Amino acid sequence: MLFYIFRRIIYMIPIALAVSLVCFMLIHLSPGDPIDAMVPADTPPDIVKQVRHDYGLDQPLPVQFAYWLGHVVQGDLGTSILRRRPVLPDLLTASGNTFVLAITGGLLGFLIGCIFGGIAGVFRGTWIDRILLGTAVAGVSIPHYWLGMVLVIIFSVGLHLLPAMGAGPGDTGTWAWDMDHIRFLILPALTLSVIPAGLITRTVRGLVSDIMGQDYITTLRGKGLRSWRIVQHVFLNAAPTVLAVMGLQLANLMGGSILVETVFAWPGTGAMLNDAIFQRDFPVLQATTLVLALFFVVLNLVVDLIQTAIDPRISRR
Amino acid sequence: MDNDVPLVRARDLHVSFVSPDATIAAVNGIDLDLAAGEVLCILGESGSGKSVTLRALMALNPRRKTVLSGELSVGGYDIMSMSESDLSSVRGKVVSMIFQEPMTAFDPVFTIGRQISEAIMRHEGVGQGEAEKRALDLLEMVQVPSAKRRLKAYPHELSGGLRQRAMIAMAISCRPKLLLADEPTTALDATVQIQILLLLRRLRDELGMGIVFVTHDLGVAGEIADRIAVMYAGRMVEQGSVADVMARPLHPYTQGLMGATVHSGNRGERLTTIPGAPPDLRYPITGCAFAPRCSHASEICREALPAFRHRADDRSVRCIKLEEAA
């Protein structure tokens, strides 16, 4: 098992390299010149040329990539063109905030999905199943930015119960696990949980009703196990697949909460990406994309390892 | 246990499966008696209701879709009147089953040892350590080589024969009075098949269990059974001692079965087939269910269901032609 983990981590190196190359190239393939955004429109051409040279943008692309990668591996993710300061500290804060939101929304969705899906699977074909499945389909179908706005209108504007924007009092941008901050988390996390909740409901429902029909469940009944023991068997059989779906969902939430973060003005990577795109702040864009992509890769590895650990059918060699 | 009370006593047992599309009358009135230590073999082709009957003996058919009726007592328990949770204390303890497919009958994510000790812990009131020790003894008893290692193996790591032995070990783990075996040897090759049958016979002798055995293999039936019951379309058509039924089958269907299978009685002869197909159990059958495929059938066969007559030579048969001849 240890060797397996080690080997899987070694395999990550080429993946990470490829990911960083794609992140780097995306910026250069997309239209728009970052220098245009930095200098006034009437700047003399020789000054534009000077600025371009200062940022190393006149070098051939492979050289730029090697230079950029060399700095990245040393922890230098570049300097924001707009804010004129290193990207890394801001990115760490923002990633932390996004992680808090994603993990809360994800776990909430996971919990709802497991409960709904479990019940629907056991009672497949009954009215309970139809209601829960209908809810799940609605959850996947509703645009979450719209749901976010509706929640804000009800709970913030109408009932004055919860704050509508930001990640804490005073807008410091740093997160803490206390009641003052958690109040700000409730609405965006709830909004974010809806899609994973729906997906996991459907996954768990399918798995549970499939497993309940397997021969070995009859064997378990045949040896006289009590129902709650049988439910344990069902869940342990469903776990590897549910976990894989959940891992991918969590990765999606990390990178895909831009809209929700924008609706709730949550100071995370989504907001950061949004700003960077509109202002052509390419070092920020590259760094953020890279961090999110690497997070995706690491999360996939973690899910794979957990799956290998809990499912005896997967070879550990 | 009182020796006068049979281990199994079923009277007019009916099993039907209800779905929105159709109701399938799988078992239509079966009488069954089995004494302790006796081995009964139920013979019949696919869809004749033999597996369903077997499962009904421990009320194991899917509960939501199944309608059970009639009288059924197993080991002194009135199965029909018991709730699912009461049944769970009888299943595995008083009556247990060796399932047909050793491939799919084990939970793939639990070790063999866990799955056997689970049953022991449930019924014998012992802890994990003791249960695992007993599981090891059981695997040795059913002659699983290097049993200690197999205890920690997952089902997919064992061969079909070993899995079947492990299944038997699990079924006998709480020394049930009645062992049900649903074609336990069909998935195995011939040499393993014989080993398993010998093992079952030994267990019957050592533990004194009654065994009800379902198969469509006459050779298997002859090897292990005391009595044979032949089923067709959810009803018994013939019952008698193995020697009698194999040597001189009475019912045309049993004769057809004998003619279609290789066994010691017809070596050197050409095998015959039974024309036609079994009836569709979604629709009610009047008269003898076998009449459409029977070469001896006449008008009278199609008019009313022949009774299951007990004969002077301690055999029972359901055929009106035989009554006429007598």
pLDDT classification of A317: cutoffs 50, 70, 90: low
pLDDT classification of A32: cutoffs 50, 70, 90: low
Return the number of CB contacts < 8 Å for A and B: 79
> Chain B neighbours among A 297-316 (CB < 8 Å)?
310-313
- Concatenating the DSSP letter of every residue in B1-50 gives --TTS-SEEEEEEEEEEE-SS-EEEEEEEEEEEE-TT-EEEEE--TTSSH
Q: For the segment A119-171, what is each residue's pLDDT rounded down to a tens digit?
A: 998 888 888 889 998 888 888 888 888 888 888 888 877 787 777 777 666 66
Could B109 and A312 be called an inter-chain contact, meaning their C-beta atoms sit closer than 8 Å? yes
Average pLDDT, chain A: 83
Could A237 and B108 be called an inter-chain contact, meaning their C-beta atoms sit closer than 8 Å? yes
pLDDT classification of A5: cutoffs 50, 70, 90: confident
By Cβ distance, the residue of B101, B122, B154 closest to A225 is B122
> Chain B neighbours among A 207-266 (CB < 8 Å)?
214-216, 218-227, 229, 233, 236-237
B123 neighbourhood in chain A, CB within 8 Å: 224
Name the residue with higher pLDDT: A236 or B269: A236
B97 SS3 class = strand
For chain A, how long is the longest CA-to-CA vector? Answer: 86
User: What value, to the nearest 5°, has the Cα angle with vertex B240 and ends B1 and B303?
Assistant: 115
Residue B4 has pLDDT above 80, yes or no: no
Stretch B10-23: mean pLDDT, rounded? Answer: 88
Contacts with B222 (C-beta within 8 Å, 6 or more apart), sequence order: B242, B246, B263, B264
What is residue A126's predicted lDDT score, i.e. its pLDDT? 85
Residues β-bridged to residue B25: B16
Residue B137 has pLDDT above 80, yes or no: yes
What is residue A256's predicted lDDT score, i.e. its pLDDT? 67
How near does any CA of chain B get to the CA of A221, in Å? Answer: 7
C-alpha pair distances (Å), A167 with each of A152, A157, A269, B95, B188: 14, 17, 13, 62, 65
Could A313 and B108 be called an inter-chain contact, meaning their C-beta atoms sit closer than 8 Å? yes
Residue B105, chain A, CB below 8 Å: the answer is yes
What is residue A37's predicted lDDT score, i.e. its pLDDT? 67
Contact B17, B26 (CB under 8 A): yes
Kindly report the pTM of this predicted structure: 0.78
Provide ipTM, 2 decimals: 0.86
Residue A205 has pLDDT above 60, yes or no: yes
How near does any CA of chain A get to the CA of B171, in Å? Answer: 7
Q: For the segment B57-76, what is each residue's pLDDT rounded down to a tens digit?
A: 998 888 888 888 888 999 88
pLDDT classification of A234: cutoffs 50, 70, 90: very high
Q: For the segment A171-188, what is each residue's pLDDT rounded down to a tens digit?
A: 666 677 776 777 778 888
Residue A112 has pLDDT above 90, yes or no: yes
> Chain B neighbours among A 28-67 (CB < 8 Å)?
none
Residue B2 has pLDDT above 50, yes or no: no
Backbone angles phi, psi at A197, to 5 degrees: -60, -45
A225 neighbourhood in chain B, CB within 8 Å: 88, 92, 118-119, 122
By Cβ distance, the residue of A216, A221, A233 closest to B91 is A221
Residue B1 has pLDDT above 70, yes or no: no
Q: For the segment A86-102, what is each residue's pLDDT rounded down to a tens digit?
A: 888 888 888 888 888 88
Residue A141, chain B, CB below 8 Å: the answer is no
**Token couple for A275:** 């700003």
How near does any CA of chain A get to the CA of B52, in Å? Answer: 13
